[in-house]
Amino acid sequence: MQKFEIMEGGTTPAAGSSSSGNRNLIVLVAVCAIVAVIAIVIAVVAVSRYSTTPNITILGDQTTIGGSTSGQGSSADSSGRSSGSAVSSSSGGRIFTIAIGLDIGALEYRDTSGYLAGFHLDLIDAVCTEAGMDCRTIWDKHTNCWDTTPGQPSHGGQGLMGRWYDACTGWFRTLERIQVFSFSSSFFKAPISYLYMKTGNAASFPSKNLANKKIGFVDGWFSDEKCLSRWTDVTGQDNMTSDHVNNLENIVAKLKSDEIDVAFVPAVHMTGYTSRANPEIEQVPWGGFYCTLAGNGMMTRKDNDFNSYWNVGFNKLVSSGKFKKLCDAAVVKHGSRGPLDCVDG
């Protein structure tokens, strides 16, 4: 408690009180200085630790945490996990996720052991190794990359739009798709599409008119209603009926059972059915039509830089002659399941 003395003219603190106040002020200043020093030390340590944190990109978000580091590149094996590579990673430790489908001839299929196989897996392995990319494959249905709805415009699938993965494998560049997604360099040539019918039904198509006919389309494929509408030589499309199925096998089955009159499908996928000794499916003799602007490649969101890494690896593969060897080997390895029409390289 502070002491006061009665003095002439009023009251005043005792002399000892001023000395005590000075000591308190000195202690307070010292404590503040110590706290400031501790805060500076903590900040320096935090900045130092942040600068050595690996660069992490979450799927296709392009959201990075910390600074870049170097690592070992790797590539996808048949189980979808990455396998080691001697190529140094140029992507800062980032993991790239790539969607592949199933049941597309020599491109994607399930082998006798139940693992995914096909040219697409071989290509991903080779390109990611050349680019030093750590790639992981994810099996998903094709409609999660690109989808179609009867009578409606085709649209991006929920998987690629929702950033479930960085890229979808083996998609052709079309007028509709380039307005939604970005594409890598093409590794296959642009294919032609035809109308196919059950063998022996040619008399039902005396002219290029589809009025009152039921037409089959495979969901998500570039040979869709929009492409067919651009084939202006074929009339009667306003009066035709569309039937969408989820894979090639189902559309062939519907042709055989007369559930649909014709199917609009790329020739490359129908070779296995039309080239048999006694084919049950044949082309409608009207010629064909090109639905694509270029061959197929990797398809990504426009805000994802996957293709900038992929194209580096692919160009290395082509310039070294390895791409041609890969394609030649794939014909032997996977050719029994369908044709492979690689770009020249």
SS3 call for 264: strand
Domain membership of residue 57 (yes or no) is no
* Domain with 37 in it: 4-51
Domain membership of residue 56 (yes or no) is no
- Written as six digits, the tokens of 42 are 């903590």
Q: Please state, in angstroms and rounded to a whole number, the distance separating the CA atoms of residues 264 and 224.
A: 7
pLDDT at 14: 45
Q: Report the candidate in 29, 137, 15, 31 with the shortest Cα–Cα distance to residue 75.
A: 137
Q: Do 224 and 243 fall into the same domain?
A: yes
- Segments of the chain scoring below 50 in pLDDT: 1-18, 41, 44-88
pLDDT at 27: 59
Domain membership of residue 144 (yes or no) is yes
Q: Do 33 and 121 fall into the same domain?
A: no
pLDDT at 269: 85
Number of domains in the chain: 3
SS3 call for 75: strand
Per-residue buried b or exposed e for 205-236, using 16+ beta carbons within 10 Å of the residue's own CB? beebebeebbbbbbbbbbbbbebbeebeebee
Q: Please state, in angstroms and rounded to a whole number, the distance separating the CA atoms of residues 167 and 90.
A: 18
Residues with Cβ < 8 Å from 56, sequence gap 6 or more? Answer: 64, 65, 66, 93, 94
Q: Do 184 and 79 fall into the same domain?
A: yes
Residue 159: half-sphere exposure toward Cβ, Cα within 13 Å: 22
pLDDT at 72: 33
pLDDT at 345: 72
Q: Report the candidate in 167, 16, 163, 307 with the shortest Cα–Cα distance to residue 3.
A: 16
- Encoded amino acid at 243, one letter: D
**Is residue 219 a contact partner of residue 147, using CB atoms and an 8 Å limit?**
yes
Q: Do 171 and 305 fall into the same domain?
A: yes
Q: Do 154 and 86 fall into the same domain?
A: yes
pLDDT at 273: 84
pLDDT at 319: 97
Beta partners for residue 243, in sequence order = 216
Largest Cα span, the chain: 131
Q: Do 75 and 174 fall into the same domain?
A: yes
Q: Do 35 and 84 fall into the same domain?
A: no
Q: Do 198 and 230 fall into the same domain?
A: yes
